[in-house]
Protein backbone atom coordinates (compact mmCIF):
# COMPACT_ATOMS: atom_id res chain seq x y z
CA UNK A 1 0.00 0.00 0.00
CA UNK A 2 2.84 2.41 0.83
CA UNK A 3 4.51 1.70 -2.51
CA UNK A 4 1.26 2.34 -4.41
CA UNK A 5 0.78 5.60 -2.48
CA UNK A 6 4.30 6.81 -3.34
CA UNK A 7 3.81 5.91 -7.00
CA UNK A 8 0.52 7.79 -7.13
CA UNK A 9 2.15 10.86 -5.54
CA UNK A 10 4.95 10.76 -8.13
CA UNK A 11 2.40 10.55 -10.93
CA UNK A 12 0.58 13.57 -9.51
CA UNK A 13 3.83 15.53 -9.36
CA UNK A 14 4.65 14.63 -12.97
CA UNK A 15 1.16 15.57 -14.09
CA UNK A 16 1.26 18.89 -12.22
CA UNK A 17 4.57 20.09 -13.66
CA UNK A 18 3.30 20.82 -17.20
CA UNK A 19 0.31 22.65 -15.76
CA UNK A 20 2.63 24.83 -13.66
CA UNK A 21 4.69 25.66 -16.73
CA UNK A 22 1.56 26.42 -18.69
CA UNK A 23 0.36 28.68 -15.88
CA UNK A 24 3.65 30.62 -15.93
CA UNK A 25 3.51 31.12 -19.69
CA UNK A 26 -0.16 32.04 -19.45
CA UNK A 27 0.62 34.72 -16.88
CA UNK A 28 3.38 36.15 -19.06
CA UNK A 29 1.13 36.26 -22.12
CA UNK A 30 -1.66 37.77 -20.05
CA UNK A 31 0.69 40.44 -18.68
CA UNK A 32 1.74 41.43 -22.22
CA UNK A 33 -1.90 41.60 -23.28
CA UNK A 34 -3.08 43.62 -20.29
CA UNK A 35 -0.18 46.07 -20.23
CA UNK A 36 1.47 46.90 -23.60
CA UNK A 37 4.32 48.63 -21.77
CA UNK A 38 5.92 45.22 -21.20
CA UNK A 39 6.60 45.04 -24.96
CA UNK A 40 9.23 47.72 -24.51
CA UNK A 41 11.27 45.10 -22.66
CA UNK A 42 11.54 43.36 -26.04
CA UNK A 43 12.81 46.62 -27.57
CA UNK A 44 15.47 46.89 -24.87
CA UNK A 45 16.42 43.25 -25.38
CA UNK A 46 16.93 43.92 -29.07
CA UNK A 47 19.26 46.82 -28.27
CA UNK A 48 21.21 44.68 -25.81
CA UNK A 49 21.57 41.86 -28.36
CA UNK A 50 22.58 44.41 -30.98
CA UNK A 51 25.32 45.72 -28.68
CA UNK A 52 26.58 42.22 -27.87
CA UNK A 53 26.60 40.93 -31.44
CA UNK A 54 27.60 44.20 -33.11
CA UNK A 55 30.48 42.66 -35.12
CA UNK A 56 28.09 40.09 -36.59
CA UNK A 57 25.28 42.55 -37.36
CA UNK A 58 27.10 45.58 -38.76
CA UNK A 59 28.16 45.49 -42.40
CA UNK A 60 31.12 47.87 -42.04
CA UNK A 61 33.74 48.60 -39.38
CA UNK A 62 32.63 51.65 -37.39
CA UNK A 63 36.01 53.41 -37.75
CA UNK A 64 36.59 52.69 -41.43
CA UNK A 65 36.36 55.94 -43.39
CA UNK A 66 35.87 56.44 -47.13
CA UNK A 67 36.24 60.14 -48.04
CA UNK A 68 34.95 59.44 -51.54
CA UNK A 69 31.45 58.61 -50.21
CA UNK A 70 31.31 61.22 -47.43
CA UNK A 71 27.91 62.69 -46.49
CA UNK A 72 25.99 60.37 -48.78
CA UNK A 73 22.26 59.95 -48.22
CA UNK A 74 20.51 56.71 -47.28
CA UNK A 75 20.90 53.88 -49.78
CA UNK A 76 20.80 50.09 -49.92
CA UNK A 77 24.53 49.96 -49.16
CA UNK A 78 24.24 52.50 -46.32
CA UNK A 79 20.67 52.58 -44.94
CA UNK A 80 21.39 55.58 -42.69
CA UNK A 81 23.87 57.22 -45.02
CA UNK A 82 27.47 58.13 -44.23
CA UNK A 83 29.04 60.83 -42.09
CA UNK A 84 31.53 63.54 -43.00
CA UNK A 85 34.38 61.02 -43.19
CA UNK A 86 32.45 58.43 -45.18
CA UNK A 87 31.83 56.09 -42.25
CA UNK A 88 28.66 54.03 -42.28
CA UNK A 89 26.17 55.61 -39.89
CA UNK A 90 24.21 52.41 -39.19
CA UNK A 91 27.37 50.58 -38.12
CA UNK A 92 28.32 53.44 -35.83
CA UNK A 93 24.84 53.49 -34.28
CA UNK A 94 25.07 49.73 -33.67
CA UNK A 95 28.48 49.99 -32.02
CA UNK A 96 27.37 53.12 -30.15
CA UNK A 97 24.79 51.01 -28.32
CA UNK A 98 27.67 49.28 -26.54
CA UNK A 99 28.96 52.46 -24.94
CA UNK A 100 25.60 54.03 -24.12
CA UNK A 101 24.15 50.90 -22.53
CA UNK A 102 27.39 50.01 -20.76
CA UNK A 103 27.71 53.52 -19.29
CA UNK A 104 24.06 53.51 -18.20
CA UNK A 105 24.31 50.13 -16.48
CA UNK A 106 27.72 50.83 -14.90
CA UNK A 107 26.51 54.19 -13.61
CA UNK A 108 23.47 52.71 -11.90
CA UNK A 109 25.44 49.81 -10.44
CA UNK A 110 28.14 52.07 -8.99
CA UNK A 111 25.86 54.86 -7.78
CA UNK A 112 23.10 52.47 -6.70
CA UNK A 113 25.35 50.22 -4.64
CA UNK A 114 27.11 53.13 -2.91
CA UNK A 115 23.87 55.00 -2.23
CA UNK A 116 22.04 51.90 -1.01
CA UNK A 117 24.79 50.96 1.42
CA UNK A 118 24.94 54.51 2.78
CA UNK A 119 21.17 54.58 3.29
CA UNK A 120 21.12 51.22 5.05
CA UNK A 121 24.04 52.18 7.30
CA UNK A 122 22.29 55.44 8.23
CA UNK A 123 19.01 53.66 9.02
CA UNK A 124 20.60 50.79 10.94
CA UNK A 125 23.02 52.68 13.18
CA UNK A 126 20.97 55.92 13.51
CA UNK A 127 22.37 58.62 15.81
CA UNK A 128 25.32 60.68 14.62
CA UNK A 129 25.99 58.26 11.74
CA UNK A 130 22.53 58.93 10.33
CA UNK A 131 22.94 62.67 10.79
CA UNK A 132 26.35 62.73 9.09
CA UNK A 133 25.20 60.71 6.06
CA UNK A 134 22.02 62.79 5.78
CA UNK A 135 24.06 66.01 5.80
CA UNK A 136 26.35 64.71 3.05
CA UNK A 137 23.39 63.59 0.94
CA UNK A 138 21.63 66.94 1.38
CA UNK A 139 24.83 68.78 0.47
CA UNK A 140 25.11 66.87 -2.81
CA UNK A 141 21.44 67.46 -3.56
CA UNK A 142 21.87 71.21 -3.04
CA UNK A 143 23.72 71.41 -6.38
CA UNK A 144 21.83 71.13 -9.69
CA UNK A 145 22.50 67.64 -11.00
CA UNK A 146 23.62 68.54 -14.51
CA UNK A 147 25.92 71.30 -13.22
CA UNK A 148 27.57 68.90 -10.79
CA UNK A 149 27.97 66.27 -13.53
CA UNK A 150 29.63 68.78 -15.86
CA UNK A 151 31.91 70.06 -13.08
CA UNK A 152 33.11 66.58 -12.07
CA UNK A 153 33.56 65.42 -15.68
CA UNK A 154 35.49 68.58 -16.56
CA UNK A 155 37.69 68.26 -13.46
CA UNK A 156 38.50 64.59 -14.09
CA UNK A 157 38.98 64.98 -17.83
CA UNK A 158 37.07 63.74 -20.89
CA UNK A 159 36.76 59.95 -20.97
CA UNK A 160 34.14 57.23 -20.63
CA UNK A 161 35.42 56.13 -17.20
CA UNK A 162 35.33 59.66 -15.83
CA UNK A 163 31.81 60.10 -17.22
CA UNK A 164 30.69 57.01 -15.30
CA UNK A 165 32.23 58.36 -12.09
CA UNK A 166 30.54 61.75 -12.50
CA UNK A 167 27.16 60.26 -13.36
CA UNK A 168 27.33 57.71 -10.53
CA UNK A 169 28.31 60.30 -7.92
CA UNK A 170 25.27 62.45 -8.69
CA UNK A 171 22.93 59.46 -8.34
CA UNK A 172 24.17 58.34 -4.93
CA UNK A 173 21.80 60.63 -2.94
CA UNK A 174 18.70 59.27 -4.70
CA UNK A 175 19.42 55.69 -3.70
CA UNK A 176 20.62 56.75 -0.25
CA UNK A 177 17.29 58.44 0.50
CA UNK A 178 15.18 55.59 -0.85
CA UNK A 179 17.13 52.87 0.95
CA UNK A 180 17.24 54.86 4.20
CA UNK A 181 13.47 55.39 4.25
CA UNK A 182 12.74 51.77 3.43
CA UNK A 183 15.39 50.42 5.80
CA UNK A 184 14.02 52.46 8.71
CA UNK A 185 10.69 50.68 8.31
CA UNK A 186 12.26 47.22 7.97
CA UNK A 187 14.73 47.74 10.84
CA UNK A 188 11.86 48.37 13.24
CA UNK A 189 10.21 45.03 12.50
CA UNK A 190 10.29 42.22 15.05
CA UNK A 191 12.40 39.74 13.09
CA UNK A 192 15.21 42.28 12.64
CA UNK A 193 15.09 43.10 16.36
CA UNK A 194 15.15 39.39 17.19
CA UNK A 195 18.14 38.84 14.92
CA UNK A 196 20.01 41.69 16.62
CA UNK A 197 19.18 40.40 20.11
CA UNK A 198 20.35 36.91 19.19
CA UNK A 199 23.75 38.30 18.30
CA UNK A 200 23.51 38.01 14.52
CA UNK A 201 26.43 39.86 12.89
CA UNK A 202 25.57 43.26 11.48
CA UNK A 203 26.56 42.40 7.90
CA UNK A 204 24.39 39.29 8.04
CA UNK A 205 21.39 41.25 9.33
CA UNK A 206 21.83 43.88 6.61
CA UNK A 207 22.29 41.54 3.65
CA UNK A 208 19.90 38.76 4.73
CA UNK A 209 17.05 40.59 6.46
CA UNK A 210 17.06 44.25 5.39
CA UNK A 211 18.36 44.44 1.82
CA UNK A 212 16.06 41.78 0.29
CA UNK A 213 13.01 43.55 1.74
CA UNK A 214 13.87 46.96 0.26
CA UNK A 215 14.94 45.67 -3.15
CA UNK A 216 11.67 46.36 -5.01
CA UNK A 217 11.69 50.19 -4.87
CA UNK A 218 15.41 50.20 -5.64
CA UNK A 219 14.78 48.07 -8.73
CA UNK A 220 12.11 50.47 -9.96
CA UNK A 221 14.41 53.45 -9.40
CA UNK A 222 17.27 51.69 -11.21
CA UNK A 223 15.09 51.01 -14.24
CA UNK A 224 14.12 54.67 -14.45
CA UNK A 225 17.60 55.99 -13.66
CA UNK A 226 19.31 54.14 -16.50
CA UNK A 227 17.41 56.24 -19.02
CA UNK A 228 18.54 59.48 -17.37
CA UNK A 229 22.11 58.18 -17.18
CA UNK A 230 22.09 57.46 -20.92
CA UNK A 231 20.71 60.93 -21.62
CA UNK A 232 23.32 62.60 -19.41
CA UNK A 233 26.10 60.52 -20.94
CA UNK A 234 24.97 61.53 -24.41
CA UNK A 235 25.02 65.16 -23.27
CA UNK A 236 28.57 64.81 -21.95
CA UNK A 237 29.71 63.28 -25.24
CA UNK A 238 27.85 66.02 -27.13
CA UNK A 239 29.84 68.61 -25.18
CA UNK A 240 33.11 66.73 -25.67
CA UNK A 241 33.43 65.47 -22.08
CA UNK A 242 32.45 61.84 -22.71
CA UNK A 243 33.62 59.34 -25.31
CA UNK A 244 36.27 60.89 -27.52
CA UNK A 245 36.49 60.65 -31.33
CA UNK A 246 36.64 58.44 -33.27
CA UNK A 247 34.77 56.25 -30.76
CA UNK A 248 31.20 55.66 -32.00
CA UNK A 249 28.83 57.10 -29.41
CA UNK A 250 25.31 58.44 -29.89
CA UNK A 251 25.89 61.81 -28.22
CA UNK A 252 29.09 62.54 -30.13
CA UNK A 253 27.37 61.46 -33.36
CA UNK A 254 24.62 64.01 -32.71
CA UNK A 255 27.31 66.62 -32.05
CA UNK A 256 29.02 65.81 -35.36
CA UNK A 257 25.71 65.89 -37.23
CA UNK A 258 24.65 69.35 -36.06
CA UNK A 259 27.09 70.95 -38.49
CA UNK A 260 25.30 69.32 -41.41
CA UNK A 261 21.68 69.79 -40.33
CA UNK A 262 20.84 72.03 -43.29
CA UNK A 263 22.60 70.01 -45.98
CA UNK A 264 22.61 66.42 -44.65
CA UNK A 265 19.90 66.08 -41.96
CA UNK A 266 19.85 62.26 -42.20
CA UNK A 267 23.15 62.16 -40.26
CA UNK A 268 21.16 63.02 -37.14
CA UNK A 269 18.45 60.44 -37.75
CA UNK A 270 20.17 57.24 -36.54
CA UNK A 271 21.62 58.32 -33.17
CA UNK A 272 18.59 60.48 -32.34
CA UNK A 273 16.12 57.63 -32.93
CA UNK A 274 18.32 55.22 -30.94
CA UNK A 275 18.42 57.57 -27.93
CA UNK A 276 14.67 58.21 -28.08
CA UNK A 277 13.79 54.51 -28.32
CA UNK A 278 16.06 53.42 -25.46
CA UNK A 279 15.05 56.24 -23.11
CA UNK A 280 11.34 55.86 -23.89
CA UNK A 281 11.50 52.08 -23.45
CA UNK A 282 13.27 52.36 -20.10
CA UNK A 283 10.82 54.93 -18.77
CA UNK A 284 7.73 52.97 -19.80
CA UNK A 285 9.20 49.69 -18.58
CA UNK A 286 10.09 51.32 -15.26
CA UNK A 287 6.49 52.49 -14.88
CA UNK A 288 5.25 48.96 -15.63
CA UNK A 289 7.61 47.45 -13.04
CA UNK A 290 6.53 50.02 -10.45
CA UNK A 291 2.84 49.31 -11.02
CA UNK A 292 3.47 45.57 -10.90
CA UNK A 293 5.35 45.76 -7.60
CA UNK A 294 2.90 48.21 -6.01
CA UNK A 295 0.89 46.28 -3.39
CA UNK A 296 -2.25 48.31 -4.09
CA UNK A 297 -2.14 47.58 -7.82
CA UNK A 298 -1.47 43.90 -7.15
CA UNK A 299 -4.48 43.80 -4.83
CA UNK A 300 -6.64 45.34 -7.56
CA UNK A 301 -5.41 42.73 -10.01
Nearest Cα to 110, choosing from 48, 171, 176, 177?
171
Q: Where are the domains of the chain?
A: 96-301
Q: What's the pTM value of the predicted model, to 2 decimals?
A: 0.81
pLDDT in tens, 58-84: 889 998 888 888 888 888 888 988 888
The answer, yes or no, to whether the previous bond of 176 is cis (omega within 30 of 0) is: no
pLDDT in tens, 21-43: 556 667 767 777 777 888 888 89
pLDDT in tens, 248-288: 889 888 888 888 888 888 888 899 999 999 999 988 888 88
Q: What is the DSSP string of 100-154?
A: HHHHHHHHHHHHHHHHHHHHHHHHHH-HHHHHHHHHHHHHHHTS-HHHHHHHHHH
96-301 architecture in CATH? Orthogonal Bundle (1.10)
Amino acid sequence: MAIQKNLSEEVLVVEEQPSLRQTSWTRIVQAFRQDPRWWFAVVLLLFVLTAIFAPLISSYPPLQDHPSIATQGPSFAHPLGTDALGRDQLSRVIYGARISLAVGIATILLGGICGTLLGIVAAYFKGWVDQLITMIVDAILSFPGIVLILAIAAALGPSVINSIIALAFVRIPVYARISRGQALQVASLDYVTAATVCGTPTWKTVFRHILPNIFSPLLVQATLSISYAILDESLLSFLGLGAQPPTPEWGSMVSDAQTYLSSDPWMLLGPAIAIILVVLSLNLLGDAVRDHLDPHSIARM
